[in-house]
């Protein structure tokens, strides 16, 4: 399948009757049950719910890390659920950025090298990767730490490196799974503000899984997962719902 993008964003993320179920001890456990929803361009989406409610599963389906039992996931008009594994991997590397609770930096690479790596994996030349990585590290306030290794950084600094790495490929979508879970409150707020600011400036979709109700105030739309369903939809006053 050809790797195509469009300059004009129309409904970047769409889930069409997505179900995810697992067989456990002869019983079928449904984690997501016939979920259909669409997220518009540049929206900051928050997914709330208890542990085990299906938040991370939904994030993994949007990111093409996992596949649904049934239904389709569309990103920018392409059904990633209909791609081969190799096609989905290429698409994910190019168009989706990830920020996790664990920072997942490579300990033997410097800050700069960690941020450059996704571009290099996509075959972009090192000088170009270096220029873009340096610019992003400047944006996250770490231009002075480009030669440092992860074990010399604080938790907040490591997560800022992870944010720069997530944005290096200029993705359509940024997925954040409990990005402040390993940080103290003040550092967590700084990281949230940074994610919100950088993704809005670049017109990216940000989908965040969190236990924190405090994020609700800055999100465009908030969904709560319960019993496999998106059961609540709190909207900012200016933001209409989009459903499929």
Residue at 3 is within a domain: no
pLDDT (tens digit per residue) in 113-145? 999 999 888 887 788 889 999 999 999 999 999
Q: Are 134 and 37 in contact (CB under 8 A)?
A: no
Residue at 6 is within a domain: no
CA distances to 7, 77, 192, 200 from 197, rounded to whole Å, are 21, 26, 8, 5
pLDDT surpasses 60 at 103: yes
Instruction: Quote the pLDDT of residue 6.
Output: 40
Instruction: Quote the pLDDT of residue 69.
Output: 95
Residue at 20 is within a domain: yes
CATH of the domain at 225: 3.40.50.300
Task: Choose among 36, 80, 11, 19: nearest CA to 223.
Answer: 36
71: its two tokens: 């239904």
Residue at 243 is within a domain: no
Domain that holds residue 195: 13-235
166: its two tokens: 């997530």
Residue at 140 is within a domain: yes
Number of independent structural domains in the chain: 1
196: its two tokens: 């919100």
State pTM to two decimals. Answer: 0.87
Residue at 123 is within a domain: yes
Q: Are 215 and 41 in contact (CB under 8 A)?
A: no
Place of tokens 């919100």: 196
Residue at 160 is within a domain: yes
pLDDT band at 232 (very low <50, low <70, confident <90, very high): low
Across the chain, what does the average pLDDT equal? Answer: 86
* 85 compared with 126, residue with greater pLDDT: 85
SS3 assignment, position 90: helix
pLDDT (tens digit per residue) in 15-26? 999 999 998 888
* 95 compared with 3, residue with greater pLDDT: 95
Residue at 215 is within a domain: yes
Mean pLDDT of 92-104: 92
């Amino acid at each position: 399948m050809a790797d195509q993008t469009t300059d004009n964003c129309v409904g970047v993320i769409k889930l069409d009757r997505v179900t995810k179920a697992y067989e456990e001890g002869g019983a079928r456990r449904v984690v997501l049950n016939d979920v259909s929803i669409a997220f518009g361009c540049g929206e900051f989406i928050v997914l709330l719910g208890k542990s085990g409610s299906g938040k991370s599963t939904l994030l993994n389906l949007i990111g093409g890390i996992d596949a649904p039992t049934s239904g389709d996931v569309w990103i920018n008009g392409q059904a990633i659920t209909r791609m081969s594994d190799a096609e989905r991997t290429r698409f994910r590397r190019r168009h989706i950025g990830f920020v996790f609770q664990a920072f997942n930096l490579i300990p033997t690479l410097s800050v700069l090298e960690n941020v450059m790596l996704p571009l290099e994996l996509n075959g972009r030349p090192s000088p170009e990767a270096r220029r873009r990585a340096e610019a992003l590290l400047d944006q996250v306030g770490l231009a002075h730490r480009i030669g440092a290794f992860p074990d010399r950084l604080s938790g907040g600094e490591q997560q800022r490196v992870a944010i720069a790495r997530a944005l290096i490929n200029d993705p359509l979508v940024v997925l954040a799974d409990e990005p402040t879970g390993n940080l103290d409150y003040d550092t967590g707020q700084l990281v949230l503000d940074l994610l919100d600011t950088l993704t809005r400036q670049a017109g990216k979709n940000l989908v965040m899984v969190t236990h924190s109700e405090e994020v609700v105030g800055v999100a465009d739309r908030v969904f709560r997962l319960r019993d496999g369903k998106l059961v609540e939809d709190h909207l900012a006053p200016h933001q209409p719902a989009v459903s499929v």
